[in-house]
């Protein structure tokens, strides 16, 4: 990965223009367009420093895109969009190769992008979709064309499915509901807010700061404010107190988070800290809705979900500044935790909300979405 940050005027204008909106409409948040293919490289808006600084990391190869994903340059939906862009770049760079060499190059790129972070499955699904599209190609130009087409198609499909998921979530929530969320739902959040606006509903949001990268404080809260939403920021340790009856914050009506992975038994893998919030929500009779486009048919139970173990040194610092005593040498940082299905009210998918025990119905020919309350 190149250490230099790349911020071309055209891309800065893209972010600025998307953040602007005419009166009476929702703003288009900057993070909704944070991965672009431009001038023979992939440009990724660096979410590690956003919104304090708008800086773009330039990845000149698919391997550098994978490194950016691993290094947390982009998170949540971002790695999926980065994987699509990385595969598009791989196709462009394979244009001068023989057919066999071009196909091998795309498979190598796909392996790196799909495995950059192990828990979230969307980059892997994107790679599989793109590689399936080039099966049977008879020339390198055809392979390049089909790969690029499939990469763009998957990214657009992700947005479409996220909008459906957002609409189903909005239907579960009353106008004026106060929602607690954790970490950064990315495209799910943006489409949920858009769906609420279309339905004539407005929510109050409560966001956890989400250490150590502070995605809630920086990404979630900033995006909600860009879209004209009211948001109250709390520290991670305040979640249970916020959910408790009689909180001076006011009643929390629902806990709503994204899910990086959901197994067929309804276990939910999401940013570490979600489990504690879900347990507290159930204790105080607050519904917990976990958002994912689809459960993972390859995972029977939560124990099958691979949890990414990040460098413990990341716990010692926040935004590059050491916050732990220099005497402290031990830390632990699982990036995700798994919430058992008994703490999940419903898993909301692009086919509607399902009770955890009924998730296998998602894959039925005519899925019977549960009515959650």
Q: Of 32, 236, 260, 337, which residue is the catalytic one?
A: 260
Cβ atoms of 263 and 305 within 8 Å: the answer is yes
The burial class, CB within 10 Å (0-12 / 13-18 / 19+), for 121 is: buried
Hunting for tokens 């293919």 — which residue is that?
37
CATH 1.20.120.420 residue ranges for the chain: 9-160
Fold type of domain 9-160: 1.20.120
pLDDT of the chain, 373 residues: tens digit per residue: 333 333 333 344 444 333 333 334 688 999 999 999 999 999 999 999 999 999 999 999 999 999 999 999 999 999 999 999 999 999 999 999 999 999 999 999 999 999 999 998 999 999 999 999 999 999 999 999 999 999 999 999 999 999 999 999 999 999 999 999 999 999 999 999 999 999 999 999 999 999 999 999 999 999 999 999 999 999 999 999 999 999 999 999 999 999 999 999 999 999 999 999 999 999 999 999 999 999 999 999 999 999 999 999 999 999 889 999 999 999 999 999 999 999 999 999 999 999 999 999 999 964 445 444 3
Which residues lie closer than 8 Å to 111 by C-beta, 6 or more apart? 127
Q: Which CATH class is domain 173-363?
A: alpha beta
Any catalytic annotation for residue 260? yes
CATH 3.40.50.10470 residue ranges for the chain: 173-363
């Amino acid at each position: 990965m190149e250490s230099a940050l790349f911020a071309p005027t055209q891309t800065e204008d893209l972010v600025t223009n998307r953040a602007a909106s005419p009166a009476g409409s929702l703003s288009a948040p900057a993070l909704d367009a944070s991965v672009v293919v431009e001038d023979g490289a992939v440009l990724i808006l660096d979410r590690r420093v956003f919104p304090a600084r708008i800086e773009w990391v330039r990845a000149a190869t698919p391997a550098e895109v994978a490194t950016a994903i691993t290094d947390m340059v982009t998170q949540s939906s971002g790695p999926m969009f980065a994987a699509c862009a990385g595969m598009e770049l791989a196709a462009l760079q394979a244009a001068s190769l023989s057919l066999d060499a071009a196909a091998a190059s795309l498979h190598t790129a796909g392996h790196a992008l799909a495995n950059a972070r192990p828990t979230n499955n969307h980059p892997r699904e994107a790679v599989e979709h793109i590689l399936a599209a080039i099966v049977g190609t008879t020339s390198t130009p055809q392979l390049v064309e089909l790969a690029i087409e499939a990469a763009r198609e998957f990214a657009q499909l992700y947005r479409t499915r996220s909008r459906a998921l957002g609409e189903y979530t909005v239907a579960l929530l009353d106008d004026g509901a106060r929602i607690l969320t954790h970490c950064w739902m990315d495209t799910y959040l943006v489409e949920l807010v858009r769906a609420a606006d279309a339905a004539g509903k407005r929510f109050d949001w409560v966001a956890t700061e989400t250490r150590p990268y502070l995605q809630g404080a920086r990404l979630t809260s900033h995006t909600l404010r860009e879209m004209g939403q009211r948001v109250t920021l709390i520290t991670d340790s305040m979640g249970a107190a916020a959910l408790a009856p009689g909180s001076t914050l006011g009643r929390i009506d629902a806990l709503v988070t994204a899910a990086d992975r959901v197994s067929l038994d309804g276990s939910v893998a999401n940013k570490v800290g979600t489990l504690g919030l879900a347990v507290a929500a159930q204790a105080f009779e607050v519904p917990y809705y976990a958002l994912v486009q689809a459960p993972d048919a390859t995972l029977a139970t939560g124990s099958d979900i691979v949890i990414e173990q990040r460098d413990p040194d990341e716990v010692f610092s926040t935004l590059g500044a050491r916050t732990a005593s220099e005497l402290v040498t031990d830390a632990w940082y699982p990036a995700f935790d798994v919430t058992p299905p008994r703490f999940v009210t419903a898993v909301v998918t692009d086919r509607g909300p399902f009770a955890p025990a009924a998730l296998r119905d998602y894959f039925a020919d005519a899925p019977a979405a549960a009515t959650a309350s």
